Amino acid sequence: MAPKRVHVAGSSSRQNIFLSPTCAEHFKLIEKKGVIQERSIDFHDITFLPEMETTARYYSWMDFNFLIGESNASWVEEFYANALG
């Protein structure tokens, strides 16, 4: 049987649902720290290390560079809070 989820009011406009009261408390800590947005790499500006782009292309990592976009910070915070549980 799945664990019961705990509802805790937060600053988010949508309901924050956590797996346990401990996760809900952990969310408060995470919410204070904030989320650091990922950044993409502009290989054209890295002239001193040309093999960096070659390596990224060889391992097919360039796709990751193009996936970075807008995120919903509260969802990220809730994910990490529930990962504790």
DSSP state of 43: G
Rg (CA), the chain: 18
* Mean of the per-residue pLDDT values of the chain: 78
Per residue in 14-26, pLDDT (tens digit) is: 455 888 888 888 8
Structure tokens at 13: 């406009």
pLDDT of residue 37: 77
Structure tokens at 54: 């070659």
What average pLDDT does the segment 17-38 reach? Answer: 85
pLDDT of residue 11: 47
Per residue in 46-67, pLDDT (tens digit) is: 888 889 999 999 998 888 877 7
pLDDT of residue 15: 59
